Amino acid sequence: MTEAQQSRQSIRAGEWTGPTVYKVPGFVQCNLAVLPRENAYDFLLYCQRNPRPCPLIDVTDAGDPEPKRAAPGADLRTDLPRYASYRQGAREEDATEIRALWKADSVGFLIGSSLTFDEALRRAGVPLSREVWVLDTAIPTVPAGKFSSTLVVTMRWMTPAQAVTACQLTGRFPFNHGAPIHLGDPSAIGADLEHPLYGPPVEKIPEGVMPIFWACGVTPQKAALTTRPALMITHAPGHAFITDIRADGFCLP
Amino acid sequence: MTEAQQSRQSIRAGEWTGPTVYKVPGFVQCNLAVLPRENAYDFLLYCQRNPRPCPLIDVTDAGDPEPKRAAPGADLRTDLPRYASYRQGAREEDATEIRALWKADSVGFLIGSSLTFDEALRRAGVPLSREVWVLDTAIPTVPAGKFSSTLVVTMRWMTPAQAVTACQLTGRFPFNHGAPIHLGDPSAIGADLEHPLYGPPVEKIPEGVMPIFWACGVTPQKAALTTRPALMITHAPGHAFITDIRADGFCLP
C-alpha cells in the first residue's frame, strides 16, 4: 500500500481530519468541486477554457464517487479530511464526509493543486514560504455559460534567483497550474496585498525578494459560486484530495 | 497581419485548398471536430479523460463558429482548406467550406496537432521523416458516455540519439500530444506496421533507427464515429486549422 492509499484510509476512517498541506509529498493533491449534472457541461467548458487556474485531473461519471483515473478505489464522499458546502452560494457548516449530500446526479471534479509543486520547489532548494497568500486580481477569465470570474492567484515571495528556478520548475507541472502568470509588481495585475482573500495583510514586500503569482484553484470555485448552484461541495481550504498520481512522473495523466 | 492570419484569409478566399502540413511554421495547428450539442458533454469528458490523444485547445459556444481563444475573428466554417464530414459514421464527399452544414447547436472542438512539434524537431536538428505513419494500437482509452476507442498513434523513426532529443523536446508541448507514449517494439502496444491506417505498409524497420510513437488526434475522431452521430464534421487529413497561438510560447493557452 502506498503512502497515498494509507493516507486516504486514515481519512476515511476518521483518524485524520486535519489539513493535507505539506503532507504525503510526492503525490499529486487535488481541489474538489462537486456540482449537479445540469451545471457540469458549463463547468467542464469553463475549466477547458481556463486551464491555468482549472487544470482538470479527473471528472467522475454522474452519481459515481470513484475517481477512476486519479485514485482507483477511492471515494470522493469520504476520502477528504474536511469538506465545505454551499447552498445557493452560501456556505454551510463544514463536514468530514458527504455521503448524505452526494446525489445520483452529482459530478465530482478534481483540479490539480499547487501543493504539488511546493514540494518540488523545496527539493530544488527554494525554501517554502511561511505563508502562501491567495489574492483576487483584475484579470478576467474566459467565461463559459453562466460561469465567469476574475483570476484568483496564489502569491509566494522569493529571491530573483529562486524565481528563475521556480519559473522553470513549475512549468514542468502544467496540471498543477504550471508556470507563474506574473512576477513583480502586484498592481500590474490588480492584486491588493493589503486585502488578500487568505493570508495576513502585507504592507510592504521585504527587501531582496519579489512576489511571484500563480493561477489558483479558488478561481473555479468563485466562478461556480456566482451562479448560486442549488448545492456545491468543495474541499475545505488546505484539506485536499490525495491522489495516487506521482508528482514527478506526471506530465499528463 | 501575422502569417497565420494571412493563411486563414487565403483559405477563406478559396485560394488555398491544399494541405497545411509543414506550412506556416511557428503557429499551433489544430484538428477539428464539430458535433451537435447533445454529444458535446460526453465528447468534452472523453477529451478531458484522454489528454494525450485529445489535447483541447478551444471549444466554441454552441452555434458560434468563432474560436475566440485560439484565433479571434476566425470562422471554423470557412477557414480550413478542406473538411471531411460523416453522417451516421459514413464519410460524405469532402468540402472546402461548411456554412450550410453548421447548425445553431454545432459545437466546434479544436485539438492540438503534432504538426506543431514536427517543426520544433526540425529546428533541433532531428530530420523530418519522409513519412508519418498512423497506426491503431491495443491500448484502450478511458471511455466517457458512449465514446470509447483504442489509442491511435503516429509513428516516426529516428536514431536513438534523436529519440532522446525528441522525448525531451516534445514533452514541452503537452497541448500537442506531448512526449511519446512508446519507444521501440511496435508489438508491445499492439501496433501492426504491415497494416497502418495511413502511410505505406512497413515490412522491416531500417537498421540504425527506432520507431517512436505519439498519441494521435485521430483517436477522438474514431471514438466519436463509433457512436454514429447524426453529423460529425472534421478537418480532412493533413488539412488542419492554423491558430494564432505561437508554438514556442505555448505551454498552456
Query: What is the rounded average pLDDT of the residues B13-40?
Result: 93
Q: Do residues B80 and B239 lie in contact, with contact meaning Cβ atoms separated by under 8 Å?
A: yes
Distance CA B116, CA B4 (A): 13
**What confidence score (pLDDT) does residue A250 get?**
56
Question: What pLDDT, in 10s, does the model give residues B208-250?
Answer: 999 999 999 999 999 988 889 999 999 998 899 999 998 877 5
What pTM was computed for the model? Answer: 0.85
Class of residue B179 by CB neighbours under 10 A (exposed 0-12, middle 13-18, buried 19+): buried
Which grid coordinates belong to A181? 502568470
Whether residues B179 and A251 touch (CB distance < 8 A) is answered with: yes
CATH topology for A3-13+27-107+228-248 is: PSTPO5379-like (3.40.1640)
User: What nine digits make up the cell of B224?
Assistant: 466519436
A86-97 confidence digits (pLDDT tens): 999 899 999 999
> Which residue in A227, A179, A197 sits closest to A33, CA to CA?
A227
Give the up-direction half-sphere exposure of residue A76: CA atoms within 13 A in the CB hemisphere: 31
How many other C-beta atoms are found inside a 10 Å radius of the C-beta of residue B167? 13
Distance of CA B167 to the CA centre of its chain: 19
Residue B250's pLDDT is 56
Give the tens place of pLDDT for each residue, B157-186.
Answer: 999 888 888 888 888 887 888 889 999 999
Side chain identity at B244, as an amino acid letter? D
Residue in the structure block whose three cell numbers are 481519512: A11
What is the nearest CA distance from A24 to chain B, expressed in angstroms?
Answer: 25
Contacts of A192 (CB under 8 A, 6+ apart): A135, A136, A186
* CB of B251 less than 8 A from some CB of A: yes
Which residues of A fall within a CB distance of 8 Å from B68?
142
Q: How far apart are CA A84 and CA B103, in angstroms?
A: 41
Alpha carbon distance B40, B85 (integer Å): 17
Q: Which residue of A has its CA nearest to B41?
A: A41
Higher-confidence residue of A237 and B83: namely: B83
Q: What is the DSSP string of A170-205?
A: HTT-GGGT-S-SEES-GGGGT--TTS-SBS---SSP
Q: Does domain B116-219 have CATH number 3.40.1170.60?
A: no
Which chain B residue is nearest to residue A171, measuring alpha carbons? B251
- Domain B3-10+38-113+228-248 class in CATH: alpha beta
- Grid cell, residue A70, equals 486519479
Domain boundaries, chain A: 3-13+27-107+228-248, 116-219
**Chain B interface mutation, best of A30, A111, A146, A252, highest count of B Cβ atoms under 10 Å:** A252
Does residue A142 sit at the B interface (CB-CB below 8 Å)? yes
Q: CA nearest A107 in B: which residue?
A: B45
Three cell numbers written together for A130: 511561511
Ranges of residues in chain A with a pLDDT under 70 are: 250-253
Q: Is A238 exposed, middle or buried (0-12, 13-18, 19+ CB in 10 A)?
A: middle
Are A247 and A116 a contacting pair, CB within 8 Å? yes
What pLDDT shows up at residue A152? 96
A41 CB neighbour count, 10 Å cutoff: 20
Mutate to test the interface with B, among A37, A45, A64, A142 (most CBs of B within 10 A): A45
According to DSSP, the residues that pair with A36 across neighbouring strands are A106
**pLDDT at residue B196 in the model:** 95
Do the interacting molecules here have an ipTM over 0.85?
Answer: no
CA angle, residues B194, B199, B205, in degrees to nearest 5: 50
- Partner A contacted by B71 (CB < 8 A): no
| Residue B253: per-residue pLDDT | 46
Would you say residue B251 has pLDDT above 60? no
CA distance B249 to B120: 12
